[in-house]
Amino acid sequence: MFKLRIFDAYEKFLFNVWGPQIRSLGQRLNHVGIGIQGHLATDDRLVPSLRNKGFHADRPTLNHTDFIAPNSAIIGQVKVGEHSSIWYGSTLRGDKNAINIGKHTVIQDLVSLIPRKGATQVGDNVYVGPNCTLESCTIESNSFIGMGASLREGVKVESYGVVAAGSVVPENTTIPSYQIWAGNPARYLRDLTNEEKEVLDEFQTEMQSLAKVHAEETEKPFRQVIDEIDNREEYEIMDAEEVALGRMRELGFPTEAQDEDYAEQRMFMKERDHPEEQYWKKHYDPYEQDVFNFPDSFKVYGENFQQYEDIKKYFEQNPDSAMQILDRTEKKVPEDQTPWTRRL
């Protein structure tokens, strides 16, 4: 016990004191070496995460968001509301002007929010599709921006406004509520129906649920990911009967003892070291079909098949014999009766 406590103290000293000091010394030596080399020096380093990157005195504000993708870039004056999500590859640059995003809003993959002449305002329950470009514009709550759309400076999308995929909305354009705009430049297409409104609301809810799943997966530590991969590979090589029995036990189904014995016997036979085949080096499994050692039923089938081929060949060479057999076996109907005559 005493030795164990000494080892714990030594380990804590290495982790908390000695290790950080060595790293700090190495960084100082690196800076000194770069200064000595001058213009010939190269300072290679990993790019840090840009999910919460400050710009001068401004830092992003992420208020209990559901999902912020690891490779997204959120820089400067950016405020994201509760239960909103920023997906993979999106860029929110608040270095020149502010970006304000409401609650339950979904900013999909590869979206660029770069306000230049003024702030960008995005309301609540807004969906911005993949690969969209939003400049200094205002998008009110419950709006839908289709994938690949581009909204220029001064654009305003009122509540429940819809911009179709691939559309380009010119500067200082206002899209009224419950209207669909499409084209390049975008023009009024038609009004939004009640059924389409319900579909958009359901889609928004599904994307919010999916964002929570992605957040859970991307926040897993490296060791947990490795363990899950190992467990999945082990699960894939398990025998089908073992998987089925395990699943039945998880669901609470009663399993008989003979079923468990059968599965254990199969697993035991699988794990045994069987002699390799001479030519194909195939491990022999007594529970699988062996194409090299045919069972007796296959042999009987082969003998019957050969007998059938011999008889067929005989009748092809002697057609008269076949006609004689047919004449003897043919049944003739009396002349006073037909096949449809009812017999009393």
Closest CA to 163 of 182, 178, 188, 140: 182
Does residue 73 lie in a domain region?
Answer: yes
- Angle subtended at Cα 55 by Cα 49 and Cα 61, rounded to the nearest 5 degrees: 70
Greater pLDDT, 10 or 5: 10
Q: Is the pLDDT of residue 241 over 60?
A: no
Q: For residues 230 and 192, state if they share a domain.
A: no
In a domain, 35, yes or no: yes
Does 124 share its domain with 162?
A: yes
- State the pLDDT at residue 16: 84
Q: Which token pair is 322? A: 């076949």
Asked if the bond preceding 170 is cis, omega within 30° of 0, the reply is no
More confident residue, 169 or 342: 169
Taking the C-alpha atoms of residue 99 and residue 268, their distance in angstroms, rounded to an integer, is 63
Q: Say whether both 131 and 258 belong to one domain.
A: no
More confident residue, 224 or 214: 214
Residue closest to 157 by CA, chosen among 133, 180, 176: 176
Is there a contact between 111 and 105 (Cβ–Cβ < 8 Å)?
A: no
> Is 218 a domain residue?
no
Distance from C-alpha of 290 to C-alpha of 293, rounded to nearest angstrom: 6
The yes-or-no verdict on residue 229 having pLDDT over 90 is no
Would you say residue 323 lies in a domain?
A: yes
Which helix (H) or strand (E) element contains residue 9?
helix 2-13
Is residue 277's pLDDT more than 60? no
Using CA atoms, how far residue 283 sits from 100, 267, 273, in Å, is: 64, 14, 8
What's the mean pLDDT in 311-316?
Answer: 79
Q: What is the mean pLDDT of residues 231-241?
A: 58
Residues 65 and 33 in one domain: no
Residue 7 has pLDDT above 80, yes or no: no
Q: Which pLDDT score, from 0 to 100, does residue 278 have?
A: 46
**35 and 70 in a common domain:** no
Write down the pLDDT at residue 299: 57
Q: Are 125 and 147 in contact (CB under 8 A)?
A: no
Q: Look at residue 9 and tell me if it is in a domain.
A: yes
Closest CA to 114 of 96, 128, 140, 88: 96
For position 280, what pLDDT does the model report? 46
- Is 343 part of a structural domain of the chain? no
CB 154 within 8 A of CB 134: no
Alpha helices, DSSP H, located in 103-173:
none
Classify residue 150 as exposed, middle or buried by CB count within 10 Å of its CB (0-12, 13-18, 19+).
Answer: buried
* Distance between CA atoms of residues 263 and 132, nearest Å: 55
Domain-ending residue, one of 156, 180, 198: 198
pLDDT band at 279 (very low <50, low <70, confident <90, very high): very low
Q: Average pLDDT over the chain, rounded to whole?
A: 79
Burial grade of 247 (CB within 10 A; 0-12, 13-18, 19 or more): exposed
Residue 127: pLDDT above 80? yes
Same domain, 86 and 193: yes
Q: What is the mean pLDDT of residues 73-79?
A: 93
Q: Of 106-115, 159-168, 320-329, which gets the smallest average pLDDT?
A: 320-329
What are the angstrom distances between the C-alpha of 208 and each of 87, 110, 116, 125, 218? 11, 17, 29, 10, 16
Domain count, the chain: 4
Q: Establish how many alpha carbons lie within 13 A of residue 89's alpha carbon, considering only the half-sphere containing its beta carbon.
A: 9
Give the length of the chain.
344
The reply to whether 204 falls in a domain is no
Give the range of the structural domain holding residue 36, as residue numbers without chain letter: 2-40
The CATH number of residue 171's host domain is: 2.160.10.10
Q: How far apart are CA 157 and CA 279, in angstroms?
A: 73
- Could you give the C-alpha distances from 264 to 96, 206, 243, 244, in angstroms and in order? 68, 43, 12, 13
211 in a domain, yes or no?
no
Same domain, 88 and 184: yes
- Assess whether pLDDT exceeds 50 at residue 344: no
At residue 225, the pLDDT reads 76
- The pTM of the full predicted model, rounded to 2 decimals, is 0.57
Between 36-50, 196-210, 284-298, the lowest mean confidence (pLDDT) is in 284-298
- In order of 230, 264, 280, 324, the CA distances from 270 in angstroms are 20, 10, 18, 59
Q: Percentage of the chain with pLDDT > 90? A: 42
142 membership: H or E segment, kind and range? none
Q: What is the mean pLDDT of residues 211-232?
A: 80
Tell me, what's the pLDDT at 223?
76
Beta bridge partners of 276: none
pLDDT of residue 83: 92
Position 45 scores a pLDDT of 63
Average pLDDT for 71-85: 93
**Residue 18 confidence (pLDDT) above 80:** yes
Residue 276 has pLDDT above 60, yes or no: no
Instruction: Name which residue leads in pLDDT, 83 or 265.
Output: 83
Examine the domain organization and report whether 265 and 163 are in the same domain: no
- Residue 100 sits in the same domain as residue 65: yes
pLDDT over 90 at 180, yes or no: yes
Looking at the fold, whether 90 and 194 belong to one and the same domain comes out as yes
Average pLDDT over residues 57-69: 89
For residues 101-140, one letter each, b for 16 or more C-beta atoms within 10 angstroms of the residue's C-beta and e for the rest, the string is bbbbbbbbbbbbbbbeeeebbbbbbbbbbbbbbbbbbbbb
> Do 186 and 126 share a domain, yes or no?
yes
Which range (4-13, 96-105, 153-162) has the least confidence?
A: 4-13
What torsion do the CA atoms of 317, 320, 326, 329 make, to the nearest 10 degrees? -110
User: Which H or E run includes 300?
Assistant: helix 296-317
Q: Are residue 255 and residue 311 in the same domain, yes or no?
A: no
